[in-house]
Amino acid sequence: MQTISIYNSLKCQTEGVYKEKGSRFIGYAVACYSEQEAKAFLEQWSNDNHQARHLCYAYRFGVDKLKYRANDDGEPSNSAGAPILGQIDSYNLTNVLIGVVRYYGGTKLGVGGLINAYRTAAKNAIENGEVIELEVYQWYKMSFDYLDMPHVMNLLKKNDIEISEKKFEENCELKIKVALLQKELIVTDFKKYYSVKLNDLGIY
């Protein structure tokens, strides 16, 4: 099986608007990596649009793109979430969340009209942003004793490994990302130090 080394995602959060028969649809598109992170974005968008009738959304996660969800939030079945997900797939994106809020204008659009509206708002949000290629990394949470800190830091610097989070209390903890081609070599090097423990956080 071929190893996936890059994927398409979004550079930053963007918005897109679509209007029809008095209803206004505002699409939000953002890079997102987990259900927990998606929940936080959705809560924020809901708070920002507390008078909106619906907040429909879809996401797709993972390098293999196997984790996904589409939610209609009270709209007719498959009239909102599925068209939004369709736009994520149309642009070959993953690790992406798109939400579309609807302000009802008093005129029913019908299922076909809703499909077009949610699809177009999602499409506009994507196109108002920037699709980028990202390298796939293996992520680890690393813990180790203070005595091994010089060795660990030297290895990280030597192999140009980026630290995304750090915490130095009783023990040292780092969140790091390792290029897939480096993975086996790096893990072998770190295992030379007894106190080093690597917790696999996944590939993305």
pLDDT in tens, 33-68: 999 999 999 999 999 999 999 999 999 998 889 999
Question: Which pLDDT does position 189 carry in this prediction?
Answer: 87
Residue 170 has pLDDT above 50, yes or no: yes
Question: Which pLDDT does position 1 carry in this prediction?
Answer: 44
DSSP letter for each residue of 186-201: HHHHHTTSTT-EEEEE
Residue 14 has pLDDT above 50, yes or no: yes
- The two structure tokens encoding residue 187: 């893990």
Higher pLDDT, 47 or 182: 47
Question: Which pLDDT does position 194 carry in this prediction?
Answer: 79
What CATH superfamily classification does 136-203 receive?
ACT domain (3.30.70.260)
Higher pLDDT, 135 or 47: 47
Q: Do residues 96 and 9 make contact, with C-beta atoms less than 8 angstroms apart?
A: yes
d(CA 22, CA 17): 13
Which residues, in sequence order, are CB contacts of 130 under 8 Å at separation 6+? 10, 11, 12
Residue 116 has pLDDT above 70, yes or no: yes
Which residues, in sequence order, are CB contacts of 157 under 8 Å at separation 6+? none
How sure is the predictor about 154, in pLDDT bands with cuts at 50, 70 and 90?
Answer: very high
d(CA 90, CA 176): 32
Number of neighbouring beta carbons within 10 Å of residue 160:
8
Q: What is the CATH number of domain 6-134?
A: 3.30.230.30
How sure is the predictor about 135, in pLDDT bands with cuts at 50, 70 and 90?
Answer: confident
User: pTM here?
Assistant: 0.80
Residue ranges per structural domain of the chain? 6-134, 136-203
Residue with tokens 């423990």: 197
d(CA 173, CA 188): 19
Question: Which pLDDT does position 193 carry in this prediction?
Answer: 82
